[in-house]
Structure 1
Amino acid sequence: MVRRVVTGVSQSGKPVIVSDGEPPVTLQYTHTPGFARSLVWNTASPAVASADPTEALESYVPAPGETIALTITFPPASVFADPSWDPVAAGAEQLAGAPGLAELFEPDNPGMHTTPTVDYGVVLSGEIVLDLDGGETALLVPGDLIVQNGTRHAWRNNGTEPATVFFVLIGAGGTA
């Protein structure tokens, strides 16, 4: 998965590394092989320096002024076409693994969703297609950046290898 290094301040006021390793809220999905999510960090008002808020996160949709940083690994589309893939079990796993966000996905249009956030994304590996509601698409490759302004969209991996994207979701309170 990913390595996360978190800094903080010791009781004596000295900067220290308080955590170094895989984020504690990491999920390798069982019902969608190759799909994975790691919650890197989140902030709320007021933020508490050095405290790890990830294990207490209740919704993957940040409120206005809050943030969520996470990586998502998208498996190739062939995973979803495999006859052994169970969309009902995968959906239940998504609801449990990404509360708040999973409910925003449209059952009649797989992958499409709209969030009340501004999202910054960086493609770390693989290739991913941003599919917009109006029919426009953009192929993104490693190093490409995306600013997703609360529009209706989907992410599609039409390649043969997994694609990993680092996202920062910023609660905007409505479409931006």
Structure 2
Amino acid sequence: MQIRRVVAGNDASGKTVFLSDDVVPYTHVYEHLRGQAHARIWHSHTTPTTTPPAEEPTSENGPILPEPGGTTFIIVQYAPDSVAFADDFDGAAAGGEFADKLPDLAASMDPAAPGIHTTRTVDLGLILNGEIWLELGGGEEKKLERGDTVVQIAGRHAWRNKSDHPATVAFVLAGASDPASTR
């Protein structure tokens, strides 16, 4: 998965310039889940500023889930569900690889319900290709296809690819506050 990232912003004099134009530095093609990949495009752990970051804002194995006010831009290619049902699938190896590359997201998973997770984020998604199903914690599902958008607000959910081909979704995750914690 090779994705170009162009970053524009203001230099020290206030002039708008291209700060970088290169391949996204942190992508991962999963070895133990054929067809699965992700590209970490941008990450602001807390509220972003208009000052360009002094260093790369993404990391290979760091947090993906932003704190309240923060954002993450990630592109995920989902393997077909059938890959996980293949005779040669090693669930422990796939889970370990996932936990290594996206540790905070892996920690949000429900061990009793594969793929189901809850995050304190508002997820804005655009299906770039293929089809993907959004499954809610109660079992309801909606099929999303290329060009469809989704807003998923901190609910218990999973992404399911019931097709025979990978599906690619671009997400912006916005760190949300819990209204109960602000009282």
Say whether the 8 Å CA contact 2:48–2:70 is kept in structure 1.
no
Tell me if structure 2 keeps the 8 A contact 1:117–1:175: no
Q: Tell me, which stretches of 5 or more residues in structure 1 are unaligned?
A: none
Decide whether the 8 Å contact of 2:60 with 2:101 is kept in 1.
Answer: no
Alignment of 1:1-176 (within 5 A): 1=1, 2-43=3-44, 44-45=46-47, 47=49, 49-51=51-53, 52-55=56-59, 58-174=62-178
Asked if the contact 2:27/2:60 (under 8 Å) is kept, the reply is no
Provide the C-alpha distance between the structure 1 equivalents of 2:144 and 2:101, rounded to a whole number of angstroms. Answer: 25
How many Å apart are 1:125 and its aligned residue?
A: 0.5
Answer whether contact 1:128 1:158 (CA < 8 A) is retained: yes
1:36 corresponds to which letter in structure 2? A
CA 58–174 in structure 1, closer or farther in 2 if over 3 Å, else same: farther
Q: Indicate the percent of aligned positions where both proteins have the same amino acid.
A: 44
TM-score (normalised: structure 1): 0.92
Query: Bigger CA drift: 118-127 or 81-90?
Result: 81-90
- How many residues matched? 176
Normalised to the residue count of structure 2, the TM-score between the two structures is 0.89
Q: Which runs of 5+ in 2 are unaligned?
A: none
Residue deviations 1:62-112 (CA, integer Å, cap 9, x gap): 111111110000011121111111111111111111121111111221110
